[in-house]
Chain A
Amino acid sequence: MWQADRTMANPKASDILGHVLLVTGPEEFLNQRTVSSALAAVRAADPESEQSETMAASLTIAALGDLAAPSLFSSIRCVVVRELEDLPDESVDGLVEYAAAPSDEVGLVLVHSGGQKGTGVLNKLRKLPLVTEVKSATLKPSEFGRFVAGEVRSHGGRIDDEASALLVQAVGQDLRALAGAAHQLTSDFPDEPISESVVKRYFAGRAEVKSFAVADAALYGRTAAALEELRWALDSGTATVLVTSAFANGLRGLARFMAAPRGMREADLAREAGVPPWKIRVLREQSRGWDDRGVAEAITAVAQADADVKGASSDAAYALERMVLRVAGARSGR
């Protein structure tokens, strides 16, 4: 059975040139990283090398011919072909034929976006000796911590398990954002191992931002995202009253926006709703899923939660979760 690498650590130019690199799998961020490191390897070996990108849909037989033909300047080339699943049927044979005997001066990188489409050509390519496949996989929840640790290591830093787990909670399961945060942390704290307290310091002051993220997600009706944001906000020590006040502000703006007379200018509308002008676009989008009755119901739920977190209920976290569910549920476009 074909066993593909999940990532390609530090490829050399010789792994790419005269080969075909097949990049598959659902994790777009990892796929892109594989492509970038392949290009970087070739660029490092030959700074003069050409790099080009094309969509598979435009890969005609003629274009394939160009690919195989020796360049006029006989320079080293890297060609990235994206969305391999859209390769025209008549070009499949030509591509497979090329991949069977790739040019020594060409590094061909084929990116398949995942899904069933185009598996025929993938299977044909996989049988060829000079085709290397790097297949990304969706990470299991337990693997994000290891991903973070790998990222930190790649920047020459160290991070312990608790800290990487906290970082995943903080940033969410988005690889691009996690990689960015790992990079940021290693450059902000170059001389110390990254511990929980470092991560907390890094995210301090974001509590307010976090509580607005919870409210925004709920007002858009993204219940799962709102609950996830809420969990992180509370785990990172956000005061519960900040969460209820973010909801109150969001709903107040929405209610006032919806009550404003039609045909008002944006600046007047912003004043009427009591929000900064840029927020009007957000309110307009959010208001699509809401009617008066729903907003009224949501405000009632938030007012109850406000008293709950101040002592009317013994479990503040549960009170907030219930509020998120009630608010998202009060949306009319449910």
Chain B
Amino acid sequence: MTTVAPGAVWRTLVGQHHVADTLARAAAGQGMTHAWLFTGPPGSGRSNAALAFAAALQCPQGGCGECHACHTALAGTHPDVSVTRSETSMLYIKDMRELVVRSALVPVEKRWQVMLIEDADRLGDAGGRTANTLLKSIEEPTPKTVWLLCAPTLEDVPQTIRSRCRHVALSTPTAEQVAAFLVEKDGTAPPLAAFAARASQGHIGRARALARDEATRNRRREVVALPGRLTSLGACMNAAANLIDIAKDETEAITDAANARELAELDATYGDDRKAKASRTYRAALRELTHSQKQRQKRREMDVIDRSLMDLTSVYRDVIAVQAGAPGALVNEESRTDVADLARRTSPESNLRRIDAIFFARNQMSEFNATPLLTLEAMMIALRV
């Protein structure tokens, strides 16, 4: 087995050396296959890894990070790299049919036709028809087609599909790896990088946002302050409402700019012509845009709520660590006084139950689309001290 010198495209992967090795070798022709499944917890960089792999496949030097192929592949503009990102909670069969048709096309640049699906966990429609559409193409691929699927865990992808994919498992990077990445890549001051890395619990995108944005840090501080206040029914109800408000604020901060930009782009295609803007096609396009923006907003909001729940979990894990007398830094080191106070007022068993309640609420929302406010109210009640 020859060693492949890792190209620059792999450098954006934080703490995934074994993954980079495997993929670099595959791009060089060792162990290449037509279907790959990238799994890893949110923020571990599974879609980044898939994208880097796409670049490496298109790059004549196996991912130099400098050439036109690398640049366009990483930017999502390469003609032979299709990136599908579902902004709704479901990938639709009609979109999947389009993808399958595209996957059979001969690549423009004569290398690979790369089909990247960022949310393969959203393939599971009721009858599995979306998954079946994809399955046929994976089973009988055209010689130049590569499917790169991403999902949090193997179990999130239908068995029929995952059994035909080569599995690439990303692990959660350590706080040190994330902090080092922030310092090197963004020039973050080391103490702030250390805080952001700890607080993000290995979620690189989250760590970056915490390091860059004070409002994000403030919102997180509000969330981690909640557990100690849950002393009455009224407080629980308020906490649930607060969590939703915080998620709304954060979502707006993320999506407002994008919404405005998309609207401006749409307007630009119709120019200043009043008549064109009064036309049925413009109004239909506007309606579709508004609709998809709302869907995106909703999904982002759920993502933010989910992250807040992980922040809450980190508090209880810290409390249990203090109760067990574990040495070392807490995730919420800066709230040590509050954590210690909670540790005195609760038992470790009750805190394990609280963590269970949080995971139960996450599951009710992600699996069954349960109403966020109501689910969080019930959860806060279960967290009451």
Residues of A within 8 A of B (CB): 241, 244-245, 248, 252, 255-256, 258-260, 292, 295-296, 299-300, 302-304, 306-307, 310-312
Taking A302-B374, A307-B370, A307-B375 as known contacts, 17 extra A-B pairs with beta carbons closer than 8 A to each other, sorted by chain A number, are: A241-B371, A245-B371, A248-B373, A252-B377, A256-B234, A259-B234, A259-B235, A295-B233, A296-B384, A299-B378, A300-B378, A303-B364, A303-B378, A306-B370, A307-B367, A310-B369, A310-B370
**Cβ–Cβ < 8 Å partners of B237 in chain A:** 252, 255-256, 259
Instruction: Indicate the member of A260, A296, A304, A311 with the most B CB atoms within 10 Å.
Output: A296
Give A292 to B369 CA distance when docked, in angstroms: 27
Kindly provide the distance from the CB of A237 to the nearest chain B CB, expressed in whole angstroms: 21
Minimum-distance CB pairs A-B, first 6 = A259-B234, A303-B378, A307-B370, A292-B233, A307-B368, A307-B364
**Cβ–Cβ < 8 Å partners of B370 in chain A:** 303, 306-307, 310
Q: Give the nearest-CB partner of A259 in chain B.
A: B234
Taken residue by residue from 338 to 349, chain B's Cβ proximity to chain A (1 for < 8 Å, 0 otherwise) reads as: 000000000000
Taken residue by residue from 41 to 83, chain B's Cβ proximity to chain A (1 for < 8 Å, 0 otherwise) reads as: 0000000000000000000000000000000000000000000
Instruction: Indicate the member of B236, B374, B377, B381 with the most A CB atoms within 10 Å.
Output: B374
Q: Taking the complex as formed, is B382 at the interface, i.e. its CB lies under 8 A from any CB of chain A?
A: yes
B381: contacting residue among A296, A306, A312, CB under 8 A: A296
Given contacts A310-B368, A310-B369, A312-B367, contact A255 B233 (CB under 8 A): yes
Q: Taking the complex as formed, is B232 at the interface, i.e. its CB lies under 8 A from any CB of chain A?
A: yes
Kindly provide the distance from the CB of B385 to the nearest chain A CB, expressed in whole angstroms: 13
Give A41 to B218 CA distance when docked, in angstroms: 80
7 A/B residue pairs, CB under 8 Å, sorted by A = A248-B374, A252-B237, A296-B384, A299-B377, A302-B378, A306-B370, A311-B367
Q: Which of B113-150 contact A (CB under 8 A)?
A: none
Give A300 to B379 CA distance when docked, in angstroms: 8
Give A114 to B116 CA distance when docked, in angstroms: 79
Give A244 to B373 CA distance when docked, in angstroms: 12
Cross-chain contact B367 with A296 (CB below 8 angstroms): no
Given contacts A300-B381, A300-B382, A312-B367, contact A306 B233 (CB under 8 A): no
**Cβ–Cβ < 8 Å partners of A292 in chain B:** 232-233
**Cβ–Cβ < 8 Å partners of A260 in chain B:** 234
Give A312 to B237 CA distance when docked, in angstroms: 24
Q: Give the nearest-CB partner of B234 in chain A.
A: A259
**Cβ–Cβ < 8 Å partners of B369 in chain A:** 310-311
Give A241 to B367 CA distance when docked, in angstroms: 16
Cross-chain contact B233 with A258 (CB below 8 angstroms): yes
Cross-chain contact A299 with B381 (CB below 8 angstroms): yes
Kindly provide the distance from the CB of A125 to the nearest chain B CB, expressed in whole angstroms: 60
Cross-chain contact A306 with B371 (CB below 8 angstroms): yes
Give A304 to B361 CA distance when docked, in angstroms: 10
**Cβ–Cβ < 8 Å partners of A295 in chain B:** 233
Cross-chain contact B375 with A259 (CB below 8 angstroms): no
Cross-chain contact B234 with A258 (CB below 8 angstroms): yes
Give A312 to B370 CA distance when docked, in angstroms: 10
Taken residue by residue from 347 to 376, chain B's Cβ proximity to chain A (1 for < 8 Å, 0 otherwise) reads as: 000000000000000001001111101110
Taken residue by residue from 226 to 252, chain B's Cβ proximity to chain A (1 for < 8 Å, 0 otherwise) reads as: 000000111111000000000000000
Given contacts A299-B377, A300-B378, A307-B375, contact A312 B233 (CB under 8 A): no
Q: Give the nearest-CB partner of A297 in chain B.
A: B381
Given contacts A258-B234, A259-B233, A259-B234, contact A299 B364 (CB under 8 A): no
Give A311 to B377 CA distance when docked, in angstroms: 20
Give A244 to B235 CA distance when docked, in angstroms: 22
Give A33 to B374 CA distance when docked, in angstroms: 48
Give A256 to B233 CA distance when docked, in angstroms: 8
**Cβ–Cβ < 8 Å partners of B384 in chain A:** 296
Cross-chain contact A299 with B374 (CB below 8 angstroms): yes
Kindly provide the distance from the CB of A257 to the nearest chain B CB, expressed in whole angstroms: 10
Q: Give the nearest-CB partner of A304 in chain B.
A: B378
Instruction: Indicate the member of B236, B371, B379 with the most A CB atoms within 10 Å.
Output: B371
Q: Give the nearest-CB partner of A274 in chain B.
A: B241
Give A260 to B233 CA distance when docked, in angstroms: 11
**Cβ–Cβ < 8 Å partners of A256 in chain B:** 234, 237
Give A245 to B375 CA distance when docked, in angstroms: 11
Give A310 to B363 CA distance when docked, in angstroms: 13
Cross-chain contact A306 with B375 (CB below 8 angstroms): yes
**Cβ–Cβ < 8 Å partners of B374 in chain A:** 244-245, 248, 299, 302-303, 306
Q: Give the nearest-CB partner of B235 in chain A.
A: A259
Give A144 to B373 CA distance when docked, in angstroms: 42
Give A296 to B374 CA distance when docked, in angstroms: 12
Kindly provide the distance from the CB of A319 to the nearest chain B CB, expressed in whole angstroms: 11
Cross-chain contact B371 with A311 (CB below 8 angstroms): no
Cross-chain contact A311 with B368 (CB below 8 angstroms): yes
Kindly provide the distance from the CB of A176 to the nearest chain B CB, expressed in whole angstroms: 37
Cross-chain contact A248 with B371 (CB below 8 angstroms): yes
Q: Give the nearest-CB partner of B363 in chain A.
A: A307
Give A311 to B367 CA distance when docked, in angstroms: 9
Kindly provide the distance from the CB of B366 to the nearest chain A CB, expressed in whole angstroms: 11
Q: Give the nearest-CB partner of B382 in chain A.
A: A300
Give A151 to B382 CA distance when docked, in angstroms: 53
